[in-house]
Amino acid sequence: MTTETTETKETGATGRGGPAVLVVQHEEDAGPGLVGERLVRTGLRLDVIRAWRGEALPETLGGHAGLLVLGGSANCEDDEAAPWLPRVRGLVREAVAGEVPLLGICLGGQVVAHALGGAVSRRARGPEAGAVPLRRLPAAEGDPVLGGVPEGAPAAQWHWDEVDRLPDGAVPLLTGDDCPYQAFRVGSAGWAVQFHPEVGADTVAAWAAVDGEDLRAAGGDPEAAVASVREAEPELRAVWGAVSEAWGAVVRARAGARGV
């Protein structure tokens, strides 16, 4: 299976048996990708809700063992453009309160911050795009999901907004030169990242085909962004695939303890 096929295929309910992770997908070209592939490999089942198509999110997490909120182009407070966001915020709060494993990616991470009392703003210095090296913060040591990320590991970026204030009690884990809150932990089993661990260069190239002119107008270089992700792709897949499996292990362990 090629990287492009892995990233863009429609997932639906993926995986046989095993604990189920509720996946909130906001856009057609922003699926679970590598993260979903690795979660299925760990024995989890993905229950993907394509919210932009009008597929209804559940009222509660119910029998789901985890919650994965993916990325997208909407602002995390734009309930008119994405009318399912209030329900997503409710599910995020339920996950944190109930210690159900949570992972928010890019827009999903911003939703986590906003839902729990943090703040998100437009980047005054323009969008961050391409493969960007990250730095570990002290709290990353021993973290069950991000503790193994090496210093300077690249991460694929494509975002115009960013978290500018963490929720009370949130623990920053990874940072970067141009974006302070690249990853943080909330509660006992919640994680949020600003970058895209789920994508490779083919997906970033597809985004550049749509948003490249906007990126260029804001001072970015879409061709360079795609090239940097393509060059870093083997390391991206190794590092963030391992992180995905580590989060999957948390989901499975918690599911067993909760009998889900």
For the chain, how big is the Rg over CA atoms in Å? 17
Tokens found for residue 192: 């949020």
Q: Compute the average pLDDT of residues 21-44.
A: 96
Residue 111 lies in a domain: yes
Which of the residues 76, 106, 162, 179 is marked catalytic?
106
Reported pTM: 0.93
How far from 70 is each of 1, 23, 109, 149, CA to CA, in Å? 22, 7, 8, 20
DSSP-derived secondary structure letter, 55: P
Which pLDDT belongs to residue 18?
87
Which pLDDT belongs to residue 15?
60
Residue 130 lies in a domain: no
Question: Taking Cα atoms as reference points, which of 112, 105, 110 lies closest to residue 123?
Answer: 110
Residue 58 lies in a domain: yes
Which residues, at least 6 apart from 196, have a Cβ–Cβ distance to it below 8 Å? 71, 105, 106, 155, 156, 157, 158, 203, 204
Number of neighbours of residue 116 by Cβ within 10 angstroms:
20
Residue range 233-250, pLDDT digits in tens: 999 999 999 999 999 999
Which pLDDT belongs to residue 260?
73
Tokens found for residue 207: 């985004």
Residue 223 lies in a domain: no
Q: Is the pLDDT of residue 5 over 80?
A: no
Tokens found for residue 182: 């690249």
**β-bridge partners, 104:** 69, 192
Model confidence band, residue 6 (pLDDT cutoffs 50, 70, 90): very low
Domain residue limits at 50 = 3-121+136-147+160-200+241-258
Tell me, what CATH number does 44's domain have? 3.40.50.880
Which pLDDT belongs to residue 207?
96
**Dist. CA 223–CA 243, nearest whole Å:** 27
Which of the residues 37, 128, 162, 198 is marked catalytic?
198
Residue 226 lies in a domain: no
Residue 211 lies in a domain: no
**Dist. CA 69–CA 194, nearest whole Å:** 12
106 is catalytic: yes
Residue 14 lies in a domain: yes
Contact at 8 Å (CB) between 163 and 204?
Answer: no
Residue 230 lies in a domain: no
Which of the residues 26, 64, 159, 196 is marked catalytic?
196
Residue range 189-226, pLDDT digits in tens: 999 999 999 999 999 999 999 999 999 999 999 999 99
Model confidence band, residue 77 (pLDDT cutoffs 50, 70, 90): very high
Q: Is the pLDDT of residue 51 over 60?
A: yes
How far from 19 is each of 57, 87, 209, CA to CA, in Å? 18, 22, 37
Number of domains, the chain:
1
**Dist. CA 141–CA 164, nearest whole Å:** 23
What string of DSSP letters covers 64-93? -SEEEE---SS-TT-TTTSTTHHHHHHHHH
